[in-house]
Amino acid sequence: MRLASLLMYDGNPRKAADDVVALERAGLDSVWVAEAYGFDAPTLMGYLAARTETVQIGSGILNIYSRTPGALLQTAAGLDNVSQGRAILGLGVSGPQVIEGFHGVPYSRPMARTAEIVEIIRSGLKREPLSADGEFHLPLTKEHGAVTGLGKPLKLLTRPERDTIPIWIAALGPKNVEQTAEIADGWIPHLFHPEKAHLVWGDALARGNAKRLGGLGPLQVMAGGMVAIGEGPETKALLDFARPVFALYVGGMGARGKNFYNDVARAYGYEKEAEEIQDLYLAGKKDQAAALVPAEWLEAANLVGPESYVKERIEAFREAGVTDLNITPVSDDPAATVAQLKEWVS
């Protein structure tokens, strides 16, 4: 099992880069840069490439709507060059709130767009001409239709560092997860409950793996949470810091009926809590919503407690198919925490 860490998208990029340098020395295998509607991810990813030497650098995630497939190809190839072959391209559909509310782009046909973009990027890295035949190759809405007569299709001008870069997809819905298992190198679920994951995604993963594209290795999976190792109630109390994050996603990331994270909470068996959290969050009562996040879910999705318990959680994630443990160290010495976990996951 490898160790990964996700940089928060609302922090200071320069400070985050300083932290990554120390975590790399401690044994971190990959760092992932999120992009919501704050700073863009590629800028920080390029900065990290210059500051680091061995850690893999992934976008976690770039949405598939606000950049053309050609632009995503350029970003992947450029990052892989400046990092000397350490790039991972993490993609996802995000959600209507970000895509329409911030980028002003219609949130349409996410699965078809994802599949075509993955195909374009893979062929583009081999410097094959990019055709304008696909529906989503050009930055046009579905309503405008395809564009023709733009001249000869072009191929990537510069030679990429590698002719293939790992493509990971963030997905939650059963159909999206099935497609991810079919076409992607890796899968990024969110708010992952190791003991309940198979109830939500087991069938979808099985269907997708049965159709998995030739040439791809086994599907990699990244999931995890907060890490705090220690005895006593003060350590366990740290789980409360995760409550607002869970409440934000379950309650506030989308309108009623259009919140993928709320759907996941219900699929885990937290139907009552999911409804109440959403009601409170949308009513502006965020603290009350956070208080209703099930303690069982918080404990399962994070690695907080005595050393023996944290080791148990590592094995639970491993048994659930997680290959890359995504950790957020909460300690006075995050690098020491990474070094300790590196021994346990090896």
Q: What is the pLDDT of residue 221?
A: 98
Whole-prediction pTM value?
Answer: 0.93
Residue 42 counted as domain residue:
yes
Instruction: List pLDDT tens digits, range 27-37.
Output: 999 999 999 88
Total domains in the fold of the chain: 1
pLDDT at position 160, please? 97
Highest mean pLDDT among 14-18, 149-153, 218-222: 218-222
**What is the reported pLDDT for 119?**
93
Q: Average per-residue pLDDT in the chain? A: 92
Q: What pLDDT, in 10s, does the model give residues 256-285?
A: 988 999 999 999 999 999 999 999 999 999
- Asked if 31 and 59 count as a contact pair (C-beta separation under 8 A), the reply is no
Digit-coded pLDDT (tens) for 52-75: 999 999 999 999 999 999 999 999
Predicted confidence (pLDDT) at residue 143 exceeds the cutoff of 60: no
Residue 286: alpha-carbon gap to chain centroid: 24
Phi, psi dihedral angles at 169 (to 5 degrees):
-125, 130
Owning domain of residue 46 = 2-227+303-345
Mean pLDDT on 168-188: 97
pLDDT of residue 139: 42
SS3 per-residue string spanning 142-185: HHHCCCCCCCCCCCCCCCCCCCCCCEEEECCCHHHHHHHHHHCC
Q: What is the pLDDT of residue 147?
A: 45
* pLDDT, tens digit, 9 for 90 and up, residues 288-343: 999 999 999 999 999 999 999 999 999 999 999 999 999 999 999 999 999 999 99
Is 165 within a domain? yes
- Quote the pLDDT of residue 152: 75
Whether 239 is covered by a domain: the verdict is no
Query: Is residue 131 domain-resident?
Result: yes
What is the mean predicted confidence (pLDDT) over 151-169? 92
Burial letters for 188-210: b for 16+ Cβ neighbours within 10 Å, e otherwise?
A: bbbbbbbebbeebbeebbebbee
Q: Whole-angstrom Cα distance, residue 242 to residue 234?
A: 14
Reported as a single tens digit per residue, the pLDDT across 93-137 is 998 889 999 999 999 999 999 999 999 999 999 999 886 565 655
Helix (H) or strand (E) holding 203: helix 197-210
Confidence of residue 48 (pLDDT cuts 50, 70, 90): very high
pLDDT at 237 over 70: yes
Does pLDDT of 150 surpass 60?
A: no
Q: Which residues pair with 239 in a beta bridge?
A: none
Q: What is the mean pLDDT of residues 27-50?
A: 94
Residue 109, domain member (yes or no): yes
Are the C-beta atoms of 219 and 181 separated by less than 8 Å?
yes
Q: What is the domain-level CATH number for residue 320?
A: 3.20.20.30
In a domain? residue 293:
no
Structural domain contains residue 276: no
Mean pLDDT of 209-217: 97
The pLDDT of 163-188, averaged and rounded, is 98
Tokens linked to 251: 């309650």
Q: How far apart are CA 281 and CA 276, in angstroms?
A: 8
Distance CA 336, CA 207 (A): 40
d(CA 234, CA 213): 48
DSSP state letter for 343 = H
Contact 89, 64 (CB under 8 A): no
Phi and psi for 53 in degrees, rounded to 5? -130, -35
The pLDDT, as a whole number, for residue 258 is 86
Using a pLDDT cut of 90, give the percent of the chain over it. 84
Helices 307-319 and 334-345: crossing angle, nearest 10°? 60
Q: Decide: 76 and 64 in contact? Cβ < 8 Å.
A: no
The answer to the question of residue 321 being in a domain is yes
Give the single-character DSSP code of 268: T
